[in-house]
A and B are shown apart, each in its own frame.
Chain A
Amino acid sequence: MSKRSNKSFWIAFCIVLVALIIAPLVLPEFWRRFLTEILIWGLLAMSSDLLIGYTGMVSFGHSAFFGLGMYGAAAALLTVKPANLWLAILYGLCGSAVVAGFVAFFATRLRDIYFAITTLIFSQIFYVVIFTWTEVTGGENGLNFTRPQLGIPGIYTVPFTPEMLHWFVLAVVTASYLILRRITQSPFGMVLQSIRENEARTRAIGYPVERYKIVAVMLSGLFAGLAGVLYAVQNRFAAPDFVYFVVSGEAVIYNVMGGIGTLVGPIVGAGFFLGLRELSSRIFGDQFPYLIPVGVIFIAMVIFLPQGLLGFARRWLNR
């Protein structure tokens, strides 16, 4: 990347970051929460982008990673008292790591379509398990728990205010973004992209493609699980609905709408999608099936704007 575009990227990044920091101070609570949710779903979509955009593997398994992150956090918050934020994160990451390992083991040896279908089915496996194992997971009703406090339990903690929650989420998402960005620009990331471009050739050169794919799935799963933990902390409940494969589909939609292979794109896509939903329910009322026009827009984007909004903006700016 040229020096000039690198600098303009960081300038833009800082501007956006500052805007997001100020946001909870000026926005009403509803929109503050809305923004936080965009960040969380954006993180989920970003984790999925690592697979779709950089490694070329479409996964519908992210709802499982997300859900297990959520339930993992729930487990920590319900079993260990006092409620420990860091433990919740740890449990959540472990939960999603286990799922990711499972999926990685079975599915990475399959190509494209078979991989996509298999990840979808795995999501459903976890959905059914969570849905029916009522004693442990609360089944259909999910689990409710209290929000942990920020800080180190036993030494100093302070309860989350809405602003602090937003900033915490922002910090986690920003850190995740920076880490993922570092990863995709590293030699490891380059190999992933080479796998996406031409897997056979990458293998022929001598790279252990399966191992790279497994690591990619694990990383992707970890960040998706992190998003799940954030969601649990924000909303204080965990429900099986989030493990249903449709959630994975939504992550993929945000990806496509924002622009795959950009990391930032998915967050933009999440914002666009959720914004459209909000807009439509304001203009047309709650009963209006906003997903119909949104779905049509999505299909049109797949056909005409495969690079997503960001790709479109990039081309437009380069004119």
Chain B
Amino acid sequence: MFTMGDAIGSGWAWLAAHGDIIIIQTVNGIVTGMILALIASGLTLIFGIMDVVNFAHGELFMLGAYVGVVVLATSGSFWLALVMSTLVVALIGAALQIITLRPLIGRDPLNTILATFGISLVLQNYALWQFGPVPRKLDEPITGQFVLFYLAYPWYRLLIALLSGAIIGGLYLFLKHGTYGIWIRATTQDRVMAQAMGIPVPWVYTGVFAIGAGMAAASGVLFGPLIGINHAMGLDWVLKAFIVVVVGGMGNLGGSIAASIFVSLLEAYAAIVVSPAQAVIVSFVVLILTLLFRPTGLFVPTPK
């Protein structure tokens, strides 16, 4: 007779036997989660402060990766590629915001969704045109692995997680201290009074969009060595980022970071039993559950 004790017992046995895979996947999940957090933070920042759903965010990620490829090819330095890519794409983001999004301020939010969708179309096809359909490769700055159970685990993956964390931490500090952080937080709370205090709100918006774009670009360069870089790489990531942002609570920075790691861990574990292509269903299920039971966000206390 199969009892509860048997079930738990065999469960533990399975875990013990597969402990190594689980730990490996935990590490993988955290690494992917940190990259996703970096992408999602930019997205949630833009939404939380400007009320703009940036459909082009995945393309900024993609553009960042490509700029990284070009700079790396010409200079040979990965770190220079990272910095240049962040700056260049931040500037492109600022330009895009000024040209296409400023005219739409105050109009129906539908318009910004459409405009950013249009931007994503243009950027994707531009990349396809300029760089062709063959995926490019971005070499990681540090090779070398350490032994994690039976795997040779690349140091670089840990570095990604650390750097992503550092960038997000930097963003947090920037928002908490300093004049511009105050300007951004004041604008988020009360746009009208922020203006009345002399804060140049249109430029705050441009700045925020640029920061979001820069963060997306940085993720593109950091994650580049792990995947092939091609014009369509943004699509899957922007989708994941949107899921994570909704699950974490739209506009909630801490929430989207927590959600990124949570969802990535679940997907990594799911990948143990199903194929990676199917593991993405996990994130969809999490989204559906969140929408059903805690639509304001899993990690956000439900409003009273």
CB distance from A23 to the nearest CB of B (A): 30
Contact with A along B103-115 (1 / 0, CB 8 A): 1100101110111
- Bound complex: CA of A116 vs CA of B114, how far in Å? 11
Interface of chain B, helix or strand or loop or mixed?
Answer: helix
User: Given that A125-B284, A295-B122 are known contacts, is A118 also in contact with B113, CB under 8 Å in the complex?
Assistant: no
Contact B114 A252 (CB under 8 A): yes
A132 touches B275 (CB 8 A): yes
Given A117-B242, A121-B243, A124-B239, also A131-B277 (CB < 8 A): yes
Choose the segment among B67-75, B124-132, B204-212 that binds chain A (4+ C-beta atoms closer than 8 Å): B124-132
B288 close to chain A: CB less than 8 A: yes
In the bound complex, CA of A125 to CA of B117 (Å): 20
B265 is an interface residue with CB less than 8 A from chain A: no
> Contact between A121 and B287 (Cβ–Cβ < 8 Å)?
yes
Out of A128, A132, A299, which one reaches B122, CB within 8 Å?
A: A299
Q: Is A217 an interface residue (CB 8 A)?
A: no
Contact status of A116 and B239, CB under 8 A, knowing A291-B122, A299-B119:
no
Minimum CB–CB distance from A94 to chain B (whole Å) comes to: 22
**Chain A contact residue count (CB 8 A cutoff):** 37
Inter-chain contact B122/A296, CB cutoff 8 Å: yes
A-B contact count (CB 8 A): 97
Is there contact, CB below 8 Å, between B118 and A289? no
Give Cα distance in the complex from A111 to B113, angstroms.
14
The answer to whether residues A113 and B121 also contact, given A120-B239, A121-B243 and a CB cut-off of 8 A, is no
Q: Per-residue CB proximity of A5-34 to B under 8 Å, as 1/0?
A: 000000000000000000000000000000
Residues of B at under 8 Å CB distance from A? 53, 100, 103-104, 107, 109-111, 113-115, 117-119, 121-122, 124-126, 128-129, 235, 239, 242-243, 246, 250, 275, 277-278, 280-281, 284, 287-288, 291-292, 295
Can you offer 22 A-B residue contacts whose CB atoms are under 8 A?
A: A106-B292, A113-B53, A113-B250, A114-B295, A116-B53, A117-B242, A117-B246, A118-B291, A124-B239, A125-B281, A128-B284, A246-B235, A252-B117, A289-B125, A289-B128, A291-B121, A295-B119, A298-B114, A298-B121, A299-B115, A299-B118, A303-B115
Beyond the given A298-B118, A299-B100, please list 19 additional residue pairs across the A-B interface where CB-CB is below 8 A. Answer: A58-B110, A112-B110, A113-B113, A114-B295, A116-B113, A120-B242, A121-B284, A121-B287, A124-B239, A128-B278, A129-B281, A289-B126, A289-B128, A291-B121, A292-B125, A292-B129, A303-B100, A303-B103, A303-B104
